[in-house]
Amino acid sequence: MKRILLISLLLAGSASVMAKLPAPVLDDAAKAKAEEAKAKTAHAGKVDAYKLCLSMDRAAASYFKTAAASGKTVKPAAALPACADPGPFTYVAAAATAVAKPVEAAGAHSPATTAASPPSATAPAAVPTGK
């Protein structure tokens, strides 16, 4: 009994250690590859939806054909948009991510004058600009 308890405690401890490992650091090539894989997966989903749409259209057409041949009265089909073919997979690598400029380089500067008093909770009175 003690052996089983000891083994279960060790397994629980190792699981908690595994949960605390940091995420792996990806370089630019790995990030680009991951983005391309994500785009391929999204395109595959669109292709699957297109194929499903085509098969549903064929099934509905077959149903209406057999229902009309057997003399059943069938309500007309609801008007739906046509199936959109996603086309072949194309991937254009995204441009390099823009690096944020420092505040000084972004054009956001401190006021030219030195503050005469600490900032207050109320709005200051209008200051004439002299223009």
pLDDT per residue as tens digits for the range 73-101:
888 888 888 999 999 999 987 654 445 55
C-alpha 131/C-alpha 121 separation (Å) is 28
> pTM of this prediction?
0.51
Q: What is the pLDDT of residue 123?
A: 59
Segment 28-55, tens digit of pLDDT: 888 899 999 999 999 999 999 999 999 9
C-alpha 117/C-alpha 108 separation (Å) is 22
Residue type, 114: T
Structure tokens at 37: 């894989």
User: What burial class does residue 79 get, using C-beta atoms within 10 Å of its C-beta: 0-12 exposed, 13-18 middle, 19+ buried?
Assistant: exposed
